[in-house]
Amino acid sequence: MFLAGWRALARERGRAVCSLVAALALLLPWTALQAGELTRGDRLAILYSPQLRFSADREPLIRVGLMDAAAEVRLTANTLVQIDPMGDGALAVDVPANTTLTVRIRGGEPGRYSYAVVVSELPADSLAGAERLVSQWQGLGWDAEVLQVGAVFAVDGQRFDTRKLLIAVGRTSSQAEADSLTERLATERGIEATVHSELADYPGGWFDVSGLPGGVVVHSRDLAWLRGRPETVFTVEDVVYDRGTKGEGKEKRRYVGSLIFAADRGGQMVLVNEVGLERLVEGVLPSEMYVSAPVEALRAQAVAARSEVLGSLGTRYTADPYMTCSDQRCQVYKGIGAESATTTAAARQTRGLVLASGDALIRASFSANNGGFAGGNDTTWGSEPLPYLQPHYDGAEASSKFAGGIGSDGAVAAFLAEPGDVLSNIREFGALASFRWRVELNAAQLAEAVAKRQSVGKVRSIRVAARDRSGRATRLELEGDAGSLVVERELNIRRTLGSLRSALFVLEPTTNAAGFVEKLVIQGGGFGHGVGMCQTGAIGAAQRGWTAEQILERYYPGTALRNLYAAGGE
In a domain, 273, yes or no: yes
235 domain-assigned: yes
- Domain final position from 138, 168, 201: 201
pTM over 0.95: no
The answer on 315 and 173 residing in a single domain is no
The number of distinct structural domains making up the chain is: 3
Taking the CA of residue 78 as centre, how many other CA atoms within 13 Å lie in the half-sphere pointing to its CB? 10
Residue 540 within any structural domain of the chain:
no
> Is residue 569 in a domain?
no
332 burial via Cβ count (<10 Å: 0-12, 13-18, 19+)? middle
- Is there a single domain that holds both residue 258 and residue 386? no
Which of 422, 417, 420, 530 is closest to 469 using CA atoms?
A: 530
Are both 263 and 176 inside the same structural domain?
Answer: no
215 and 84 share one domain: yes
CA proximity to 393, closest of 469, 300, 464, 466: 469
Question: Is residue 101 located within the same domain as residue 227?
Answer: yes
Residues 274, 256 contacting (CB under 8 angstroms): no
Query: How many Å is the maximal CA-CA distance in the chain?
Result: 90
Question: In one letter, which amino acid is 400?
Answer: S
**Domain span including residue 443:** 365-531
Measured between alpha carbons, how far is 373 from 384 in angstroms, rounded to an integer?
20
* In a shared domain, residues 172 and 291: no
Residues 178 and 240 in one domain: no
Contact 145, 131 (CB under 8 A): no
The angle that helices 295-311 and 535-543 make with each other, rounded to 10 degrees, is 150
Domain CATH number, residue 192: 3.30.70.1070
233 shares a domain with 119:
no
The amino acid that residue 384 corresponds to is: E
Per-residue confidence in pLDDT tens, the chain, 570 aa: 323 333 333 333 233 333 222 322 333 333 333 333 556 677 788 788 878 888 888 899 999 999 999 989 999 999 999 998 765 556 788 999 999 999 999 999 999 999 999 998 888 888 999 999 999 999 999 999 999 999 888 887 778 888 899 999 999 999 999 999 988 887 777 677 889 999 999 999 999 999 999 999 999 999 999 999 999 999 999 999 888 777 889 999 999 999 999 999 999 999 999 999 999 999 999 999 999 999 999 999 999 999 999 988 888 899 999 999 999 889 999 999 999 999 999 999 999 999 999 878 898 999 999 999 999 998 888 778 899 999 999 999 988 899 899 999 999 999 999 999 999 999 998 888 999 999 999 999 999 999 998 899 999 999 999 999 999 999 999 999 999 998 888 888 999 999 999 999 999 999 999 999 999 999 999 999 999 999 999 999 999 999 999 999 999 999 999 998 864 444
Q: Which of 522, 501, 518 is nearest to 510 (CA)?
A: 518
Q: Does residue 348 lie in a domain region?
A: no
275 is a domain residue: yes
- Please state, as a whole number, how many other Cβ atoms lie within 10 Å of the Cβ of residue 244: 9
Q: Do 404 and 415 fall within a single domain?
A: yes
Segment holding 160, helix H or strand E = strand 158-161
Locate the DSSP E strands across 405-482. 437-442, 459-467, 473-480
How big is the CA angle at 356 (ends 150 and 121), to the nearest 5 degrees? 40
Are 152 and 161 contacting, i.e. CB atoms less than 8 angstroms apart?
yes
Residue 431 lies in a domain: yes
- Note whether 262 and 127 are same-domain residues: no
Q: Say if CB 169 and CB 142 are below 8 A apart.
A: yes
- Are 74 and 165 contained in the same domain? no
52 in a structural domain: yes
Domain closes at, from 157, 173, 201 = 201
Asked if 308 and 162 sit in the same domain, the reply is: no
Q: Which of 94, 91, 53 is nearest to 77 (CA)?
A: 94
Q: Other C-beta atoms within 10 Å of 320: how many?
A: 23
